[in-house]
Structure 1
């Protein structure tokens, strides 16, 4: 029988233990662990959640990897066409874990209403387009259908709708400048069949999603010519590897660029979140460990007489240290239990209500996103428990300094 665990249980269950001098210190230690695990869970869930949402939105507007002509065009507007007759289209068979290959083309335009005007990027897509991203952020109407004849249906953002007073079902004019500025611009009358709101203001205030055949006609391209291809992959963590493989498998006149390469500043910024998460975890574990060290030392000093009796009965220092480490482990587990309960409750409330909001101009999202994965929660709990117990091994050595003769005093 593990008598060390038996003694630890008796200490924990004793009424004197609950009303002793060490009781408030123990409660403070448990609260510190609970708060620490809550803060760590929130830091990880919101940090990873924000990273994923920003990656998702950048990829939703650009695809994970873009294949375009190899030229010096760094703008959002496609200038030279690419032939659709490629080995990798419509299915990229030579590279694994590719979900979809879709064509696109973009053209600068101006929306003109009776009272106002606004410059926009007219993004043309085809029937092969994956609408999953816009389905999530569709706030009104429906998604356009480009599978039949040239469609005048377009998808606009809530930002454009509010600024230009274009409501669902309204038709409006979009003008496109011709290569010869002396000629009258192209005019397209389109209809807003859907309104989206991603909260990514840099894109929302610019992009109108339309039928690619409008751009093909205005640019005098054939139906086999497009602005480029967007490649969607299964796992974003493999994007650098897949970008390299896609680049290798495309022709010498084509360039494959990942969304990370296209927006390096944004990805460098969100990668800094990892450093913040590691720092918060280190600080919280250190605070919890220091509180547990204090509680353990108080428990040992409060039980010096019991330690002396156990030594007089032949118990070794290692066995007695185990008794108090078991006791400390129980306190840590209590703190972890309440911390997990509170942390999960807070995160679930935020996940399903979005009660805490953010400035989309700064963070590219309207509310704090939450990423929940029980793997990281389990690892966080195990790591906290192990690190706290390791930190308690050294202070528990004070038990070996207690003299049984001096400590056994009966009054």
Structure 2
């Protein structure tokens, strides 16, 4: 057995404060990164579902041909390309009538999908029939049966109601041919839904297709700014928690070294070098740091799993864009943050470990044994 490993196994680290602070730091770090990742995941998903990351418009009212759409669909950066149609309308049930924006969808063959707020305002339930009035050169009236009621999109402007009807119905209302569209909604792959990727890809697609590109980052700049602020806050938490854990671990090991002065003196007398003794205490520090990180990780993961299944902690969607605290557990992020925290603590532990070199075996006449 390696001598440093053997001696480290015999030394006892009794600082519960150091171990506890490491566990708490790991708990806070993993919880913070999981919540931030959850916010990003949910908000990016909402933006993608409601309006897509990139919308391509034709400035001269011409429409993209099939080869252009085929090229876009073959782009690995793009998850989907939807030919979008939008039309304002008035929805009526009984004496109640409300203005809405109708968007095409290929998810249904007939009927209409409405948000919960519209359902409440019209006192309508799934299966009820609604009248839709399209006001253009000539008023057109259509009947639609409610086939689904969804949650209200949190990202839309106040008083904007978005409902969905089949693409073929909206084409007939607008007198569009099969391949005529108002714009192309480009939904990017999940890992490319951040501001930097969107702002880089949009001009490329606009140039290659000859269409005008409008991005979600220009439509919702405040949301992306808010997410960047959250990034900075989580980074600050990571730094502070690493410092707290390192400070407490350093304090604990200073006490351990002071308690083990005679042991260190005896080992030096027996021929152990300062480097071997430092390696022994560093091994003990690493073991206890990893133990604290593991305890904190397990507690944070359990809490995240409970929240992801039950949504027990609620939020106001008007302020946070989601109705609950979202969490997203990424094993890669957990491993990386643990590695950073461990490295930070080990660097700081070098400070008390260097004290070993100053211990004189001749003066270490009183102390404890292994």
1:220 deviation in Å?
4.0
1:340 deviation in Å?
1.5
Partner residue in 2 for 1:200: 154
Which runs of structure 2 are paired with 1:261-272 in the superposition (5 Å)?
Answer: 261-272=218-229
Please say if 1:174 is aligned against 2:174.
no
Structure 2 CA distance for partners of 1:201 and 1:235, relative to 1, 3 Å: closer
Q: C-alpha separation between the residues in 1 aligned to 2:113 and 2:218?
A: 27
Q: C-alpha separation between the residues in 2 aligned to 1:93 and 1:124?
A: 19
Q: C-alpha separation between the residues in 1 aligned to 2:215 and 2:94?
A: 40
TM-score, L = length of structure 1: 0.81
1:50 deviation in Å?
0.4
- What CA deviation, in whole Å up to 9, does each residue of 1:143-195 have, x standing for no partner? x22xxxxx4x111112221232110011112233335xxx7x43332221111
Partner residue in 1 for 2:81: 101
1:369 deviation in Å?
1.4
Partner residue in 1 for 2:208: 249
Partner residue in 1 for 2:276: 319
Partner residue in 2 for 1:85: 65
Q: C-alpha separation between the residues in 2 aligned to 1:95 and 1:54?
A: 24
Please say if 1:164 is aligned against 2:122.
yes
Which runs of at least 4 in structure 1 moved beyond 4 Å after TM superposition? Answer: none
Please say if 1:228 is aligned against 2:183.
yes
- Contact preservation (8 Å) 2:171, 2:178: yes
Q: Once superposed, what is the RMSD of the aligned Cα atoms? A: 2.4
- Contact preservation (8 Å) 1:40, 1:281: yes
Q: C-alpha separation between the residues in 2 aligned to 1:284 and 1:368?
A: 22
Partner residue in 2 for 1:283: 240
- Contact preservation (8 Å) 1:8, 1:324: yes
Partner residue in 2 for 1:36: 25
* Unaligned stretches of 5+ residues in structure 2: none
- What CA deviation, in whole Å up to 9, does each residue of 1:53-77 have, x standing for no partner? 1111111111232111238xxxxxx
Q: C-alpha separation between the residues in 2 aligned to 1:232 and 1:219?
A: 24
Q: C-alpha separation between the residues in 2 aligned to 1:172 and 1:84?
A: 33
Deviates more, 1:273-282 or 1:240-249: 240-249
Structure 2 CA distance for partners of 1:409 and 1:228, relative to 1, 3 Å: closer
**Higher relative contact order, structure no. (Cα contacts within 8 Å, ≥ 6 residues apart):** 2
Q: C-alpha separation between the residues in 2 aligned to 1:31 and 1:399?
A: 25
Partner residue in 2 for 1:140: none
- Contact preservation (8 Å) 2:73, 2:80: no
TM-score, L = length of structure 2: 0.90
Structure 2 CA distance for partners of 1:395 and 1:317, relative to 1, 3 Å: same
Partner residue in 2 for 1:347: 304
Partner residue in 2 for 1:211: 166
- What CA deviation, in whole Å up to 9, does each residue of 1:83-110 have, x standing for no partner? 3534312552674443332211112222
Partner residue in 1 for 2:144: 190
Q: C-alpha separation between the residues in 2 aligned to 1:404 and 1:36?
A: 37
Please say if 1:122 is aligned against 2:73.
no
1:394 deviation in Å?
1.7
- Contact preservation (8 Å) 1:82, 1:227: no
1:410 deviation in Å?
7.2
Please say if 1:274 is aligned against 2:228.
no
- Contact preservation (8 Å) 1:157, 1:208: yes
Q: Secondary structure at the residue paired with 2:290?
A: helix
Q: C-alpha separation between the residues in 1 aligned to 2:162 and 2:206?
A: 27
Partner residue in 2 for 1:138: none
Q: C-alpha separation between the residues in 2 aligned to 1:199 and 1:228?
A: 21
Structure 2 CA distance for partners of 1:410 and 1:110, relative to 1, 3 Å: closer
* Unaligned stretches of 5+ residues in structure 1: 18-22, 72-80, 132-143, 146-150
Partner residue in 1 for 2:360: 403
